[in-house]
Amino acid sequence: MILYGCIVNVDFNQREPVHSAGRKGAWMAHGERLTSREVAERLGVKLETVYAYASRGLLHSQRAAGGRGSTFDPAEVERLRTQGHPRGRAAVAGGLVAAGGLVATDATVAVDATAAVGGIAAVDRTGAVDRTAAAGGLVAADDRAREADAPRGGDLPAVRTRLTLVAEGHLYYRGVDAVEFVARHRFEEVAGWLWRGRTDPAPVFIVPPDLAATLERVGGILPARSRLTDRMRVAVSVAASSDPLRFDLREDSVLLTACTLVASLVEALPAPPEASQAVGGRATAGASQRTGTAESVGERAGIATRLWGRLAGGAGDVVAIACLDRALGLLADHDLAVSTFAARVAASARADPYAVVSAGLAALDGPLHGGASRLAYRLLAEVLDRGDAVVVVSEHLRADQRIPGFGHGLYPDGDPRARALLAALAALPAAEPFLAAAGEIARVAGRERALRPNVDLSLAVLTMAAGMPAEAGEVIFAVARTVGWLAHALEEYQETPLRLRPRGVYAGPPITGPQA
């Protein structure tokens, strides 16, 4: 059983699987890679737990010969078995906190029901559990364990969720492969699936006329240099102040609020000049080479159509709008990303949906999260301007800088969202030069650092092909992820309030008595 958080005082009765010394010696001596089932057998866990270990970086997988299934390094499995998968009551440290916050145990874990409303467990390097910490639902390790065991992200609390899973190089929305699901459903239907577990009827995103007028007035007094994401944050506050029922956290009320909120984010964006041009004066999907005009921009149009009108100008063509809709769906949720966890913590404190989205937008505002697409945009623009991907990438490497738009800790074999969006963009004639430049960068990055494109690079290709501004990728990300934040809020509102309250591990100077 994999427990995604909310763990309190734990009684552990871990069974150690029985293996012959001969079998262990054989695969350790010859170094043969293990299948997923062999790893599960060796660790005494279910296959799902093995996938969770891989998605969190505890184990690193490689595709098996023939492309079916994954294989694992026996030595790495053995280290996890002996260090991160300990026996007895101390297994809380290894099983619930090992390597940056993975919460994964097998079915022999029994949760103390009397502590089900709280139970922050502060875990030191020995794996001892401080049972006096009873107020929250998280497990945090001390600094020594953090430095020794966490491969990325430090001590991250893990939270039980039914919404999204990243495993074996795939992204799942409520148990369905997200790439395949998004290919068959509009963004509105993706929202319905995440919010309610069904696509019919799909939510309708509409801004009430009075609120639309208020958003226009407020937007008119903001400085002209305001970033688009600044305008979105203001829009959330304006929408909240206009909603006297925002504190009604019943599901039906939250769903209505969610529809207004998503639409308000798009409504707050100023419309650009018609028929903008992409880098180097190339024709864009919004300006020419139309393969059919998308539905007219209005309140009944889909979010992708309306967002296109605000970011690129004009109606756009059918293929281009479909690519933007695909991007929105692929970005709707992604496990507990930093912004999603911030939003979920706010929901745990019973903040209203507007405050939840404000928390998410605040965490999104940075170059390592929502702003990463802007950096990828700049990289792509530089390669197009200079005409040499090798030189541009080499300069990044020489300066010991990461290559924007490449690599993802959860997808060592490549980001499936990037593959899906880049494949969709191949049908867009205006994207051809940008796809070619991205391909050149990918070849250099793959050769020099074994890095593969992530979704930020595909966003950069989309926004450049559309003639959108450099910050458009962050806007698309924010609109899409707002659906995910609200899905997590709906889920968190059903949990015990204030459960996401970790206890700090004091690392300051020694405590002294009162000053004389």
pLDDT digits (tens, 9 = 90+) for 57-110: 678 888 776 656 788 899 888 888 776 543 333 333 333 233 333 333 333 333
pLDDT, one tens digit per residue, over 425-461 is 999 999 999 999 999 999 999 998 889 999 999 999 9
What pLDDT does 267 receive? Answer: 96
Beta strand pairing call for 139-141 and 176-177: unpaired
Residue 72 falls within a domain, yes or no? yes
Tokens of 146: 């953090």
Q: Which neighbouring-strand residues pair with 122?
A: 130, 140
Of the listed ranges 30-39, 183-192, 483-492, the one predicted with least confidence:
30-39
pLDDT, one tens digit per residue, over 382-409 is 999 998 999 999 998 888 788 888 989 8
Residue 39 falls within a domain, yes or no? yes
What pLDDT does 63 receive? Answer: 73
Inter-residue contact 343 to 359 (CB < 8 Å) = yes
Residue 117 falls within a domain, yes or no? yes
Inter-residue contact 348 to 495 (CB < 8 Å) = yes
Cis peptide upstream of residue 412 (ω within 30 degrees of 0): no
Residue 235 to residue 247: CA distance in whole angstroms? 18
Inter-residue contact 259 to 267 (CB < 8 Å) = no
Inter-residue contact 3 to 105 (CB < 8 Å) = yes
Residue 33 falls within a domain, yes or no? yes
pLDDT, one tens digit per residue, over 287-333 is 434 344 445 455 568 999 999 999 998 878 899 999 999 999 999 99
Inter-residue contact 483 to 195 (CB < 8 Å) = yes
Handedness of CA 211, 217, 218, 224 (dihedral sign): positive
Selection from 103, 95, 38 nearest residue 71 by Cα: 38
Residue 325 to residue 334: CA distance in whole angstroms? 17
Mean pLDDT of the chain: 78
Residue 192 falls within a domain, yes or no? no
Give pTM, 2 decimals: 0.69
pLDDT, one tens digit per residue, over 148-168 is 333 344 455 678 899 999 999
3-state secondary structure of 122: strand
Residue 388 falls within a domain, yes or no? no
Residue 438 falls within a domain, yes or no? no
Domain count, the chain: 1
Res 221 pLDDT > 70: yes
Q: Which neighbouring-strand residues pair with 173?
A: 164, 176
pLDDT, one tens digit per residue, over 335-376 is 999 999 999 999 999 999 999 999 999 999 877 787 888 999
The C-alpha R_g of the chain, in whole angstroms, comes to 24
Expressed as residue numbers, the domain containing 30 is 10-149
Residue 71 falls within a domain, yes or no? yes
pLDDT, one tens digit per residue, over 464-486 is 999 999 999 999 999 999 999 99
Res 245 pLDDT > 60: yes
